[in-house]
Amino acid sequence: MSRLLAVPKASEDAVIHADWLELRALEANDGSASLNDLAREIARAGTTDATMLAVGEKRRERATTIAEDAIKEIEDRIQSADGNAVAYPFCLNKAGQLLSTTKGAEDSLYVFLLLLTHVNIDKAKVQAGIDGTQLFEDVCAEAATGYLGGSGPRVQFYAFGFPRRSGPKAFGTALDTMCSQMGEGVGLRARDNAADMKDAALDLAVWRSFGDRRAGKLIGFAQCKTGRNWEGEVHNLRAFDFCANWLRDMPLVLPVRMFFVPCRVSHYGRDAKCRAAGILFDRCRITEYASSIADERAKQWRKWSKGAITNLILKPKRVSRTKAAAKKASVK
């Protein structure tokens, strides 16, 4: 079993079960995974929990219901992409029971975000020499500018997250540069602890300007969080507090908060998450607005995904089969 394909608990959300089906399809030699695959694994001993106390036929029926909910989630993802195979590189058969990869699925932005959701970010964020978390921030910048109307002289962004890969490294000088480019805020408000700050939870600023170049524009302040455990981070950035604490002048219009995650956000409790996080960009929303991303960036996520699939899905599976064959031989 690969490190990304541990069978999810029955009580987990349908988005996790749907992710499992997508990963299983990527792993399979024929590029497909079925409703029955998921139901069988969930019903198997060791993959159930307190919600699966039934036994026998009722146990199997409950597992099938859970798998059907995962298929409904898959259908919702297809609808979110308007059936666009570039935005969602999987398809269901007419019976709605078999999920298959489309041509070039492994090279897609969606699969990069899917893999980034499930890797151990502390141990496996670097694949093929590429840092997945840094690449994710670049993708978020593309999605944010796309949402505001696309790249160009009117729509710009500033990558403020620490460690900063371009521009000034120090907090104060980076803030001065951001304000100068944005045309609002003036710069750093003198604070004794400014030298000790990294990014004060601001990863990305994006804005849409007018031809008159005057203040009073749409500005977005964004956080970008990888992995699945992001919900505790949604309160870290407050646009008003950031501006009041660190800018010499408040922007004429308070920046809109944005929050980017590579996972698919569940319908359950989503409204509350949006209220806490701001405009919430999950996997499907990011792929919708980062479709025009530059070829060079696309090459990077393809290399990262290929490394992750080889090292975290295919290689562990081959090792496992080799060990099983050796054990079988020793028994003989």
- Residue 320 vs residue 308, higher pLDDT: 308
Residue 324 pLDDT greater than 90, yes or no: no
From CA 38, how far away is CA 67, in angstroms rounded?
Answer: 6
DSSP at 104: T
pLDDT band at residue 46 under the 50/70/90 scheme: very low
Give the mean model confidence (pLDDT) for residues 52-56.
55
From CA 86, how far away is CA 73, in angstroms rounded?
Answer: 18
Residue 221 pLDDT greater than 50, yes or no: yes
Mean pLDDT score of the chain: 89
- Residue 325 vs residue 158, higher pLDDT: 158
pLDDT of residue 326: 46
Residue 45 pLDDT greater than 70, yes or no: no
Instruction: Report the percentage of the chain scoring pLDDT > 90.
Output: 71
Residue 50 pLDDT greater than 70, yes or no: no
And the tokens for 61?
């029926």
Give the mean model confidence (pLDDT) for residues 157-185.
96
Give the mean model confidence (pLDDT) for residues 290-318.
84
Whether the Cβ atoms of residue 78 and residue 288 lie closer than 8 Å to each other: no
pLDDT of residue 178: 98
DSSP at 102: P
pLDDT of residue 227: 79
Write down the CATH number for the domain with range 126-292. 3.40.1350
Give the mean model confidence (pLDDT) for residues 247-262.
97
pLDDT band at residue 191 under the 50/70/90 scheme: confident
pLDDT of residue 2: 58
pLDDT band at residue 260 under the 50/70/90 scheme: very high
Query: With the CA atoms of 135, 139, 141 and 142 taken in that order, what torsion angle do they form, in degrees rounded to the nearest 10?
Result: 140
Burial of residue 106, with CB atoms counted within 10 A of its CB: 0-12 exposed, 13-18 middle, 19 or more buried: middle
Q: What is the pLDDT of residues 136-149, one digit of tens each?
A: 999 999 999 999 99
pLDDT band at residue 329 under the 50/70/90 scheme: very low
pLDDT band at residue 293 under the 50/70/90 scheme: confident
Give the mean model confidence (pLDDT) for residues 237-266.
96
Whether the Cβ atoms of residue 169 and residue 187 lie closer than 8 Å to each other: no
End-to-end alpha-carbon separation of the chain, Å? 24
Residue 4 pLDDT greater than 90, yes or no: no
| Domain extent listing, the chain | 1-107, 126-292
Instruction: Report the percentage of the chain scoring pLDDT > 70.
Output: 89
The CA-atom distances, in angstroms, between 95 and each of 26, 68, 69, 92, 283 are 20, 12, 15, 8, 26
